[in-house]
């Protein structure tokens, strides 16, 4: 629940392409380590008791069909291209929206304004960005191009990372869905964990990048 939205391959790939491989590796390591740590913490402190008793319908169906024949190389390439396009197509519109908004920010937003509000010297920029990301519900495909443009205008890299983690990990629709299977204390704990992860990651990024 913690690592799944944050270690999204799209986020890792776009960070590597737009911010740099070092940033992508640091992001992965931070989110992975913190997710494992807080996962153990929630388990050891007894938060499993806040899971609701939910009735699950349906079950597994055995597939007794014979294994298919091996495909030729050209068929494998074709299937790979189709699968890649199928994965890219639903997120392409959000990526284009993010690029468009990012271009507008880069072209028209004053540098001094960004430096004052979200520059690396503003100690409150990281936690505020983590909180702001929650109600915005920005998809990662949209958020990263916007964040890159803000970084170009002077926003601290850590502040941008906190915004991405806050939006991806604590989006209100996802929290509403979790409230259907978890009690409010566990949902609140997950929100707190993602917020702490965003803040820690943001400050680490500002120190090392």
Q: Are 187 and 2 in contact (CB under 8 A)?
A: no
* Alpha helix ranges (H) inside 109-156: 111-118, 125-136, 140-152
Q: Are 34 and 200 in contact (CB under 8 A)?
A: yes
The pLDDT, as a whole number, for residue 105 is 59
Residue 141 lies in a domain: yes
Residue 196 lies in a domain: yes
Which residue range forms the structural domain that includes residue 111? 3-50+87-208
Residue 13 lies in a domain: yes
Number of structural domains, the chain? Answer: 1
Considering only CA atoms, which of 51, 60, 65, 6 is closest in space to residue 32? 6
Distance CA 171, CA 207 (A): 27
The pLDDT, as a whole number, for residue 197 is 92
Q: The pTM is what?
A: 0.71
Phi, psi of 170, rounded to the nearest 5 degrees: -130, 30
Q: Chain centroid to CA 7: how far?
A: 6
Residue 82 lies in a domain: no
Distance CA 44, CA 59 (A): 30
Name the token pair of 13: 């790939």
Name the token pair of 46: 């007894």
Residue 80 lies in a domain: no
Buried b (16+ CB within 10 A) or exposed e, 73-94: eeeeeeeeeeeeeeeeeeeeeb
From first to last of the 209 residues of the chain, give the pLDDT tens digit.
677 778 888 888 888 988 899 999 999 999 999 999 998 998 888 888 888 776 655 555 555 555 556 777 778 788 888 887 787 676 667 667 756 765 675 566 665 665 666 677 788 889 988 887 766 656 667 778 878 888 887 888 898 898 888 877 776 667 777 777 888 888 888 888 989 999 999 999 988 87
Residue 30 lies in a domain: yes
Residue 149 lies in a domain: yes
Residue 55 lies in a domain: no
């Amino acid at each position: 629940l913690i690592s799944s939205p944050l270690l999204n391959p799209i986020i890792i790939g776009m960070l590597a392409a737009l911010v740099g491989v070092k940033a992508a590796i640091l992001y992965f390591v931070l989110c992975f380590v913190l997710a494992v740590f807080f996962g153990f913490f929630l388990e050891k402190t007894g938060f499993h008791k806040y899971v609701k008793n939910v009735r699950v319908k349906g079950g597994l169906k055995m597939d007794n069909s014979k294994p298919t024949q091996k495909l030729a190389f050209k068929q494998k390439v074709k299937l790979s291209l189709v699968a890649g396009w199928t994965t890219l197509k639903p997120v392409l519109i959000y990526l284009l929206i993010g690029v468009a908004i990012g271009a507008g920010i880069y072209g028209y937003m004053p540098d001094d304004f960004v430096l004052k509000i979200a520059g690396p010297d503003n100690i409150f920029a990281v936690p505020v960005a983590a909180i702001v990301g929650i109600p915005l519900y920005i998809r990662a495909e949209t958020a990263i191009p916007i964040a890159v443009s803000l970084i170009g205008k002077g926003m601290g890299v850590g502040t941008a990372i906190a915004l991405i983690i806050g939006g991806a990990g604590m989006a209100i629709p996802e929290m509403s869905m979790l409230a259907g299977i978890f009690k409010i204390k566990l949902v609140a704990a997950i929100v707190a964990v993602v917020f702490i992860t965003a803040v820690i990651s943001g400050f680490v990024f500002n120190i090392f990048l």
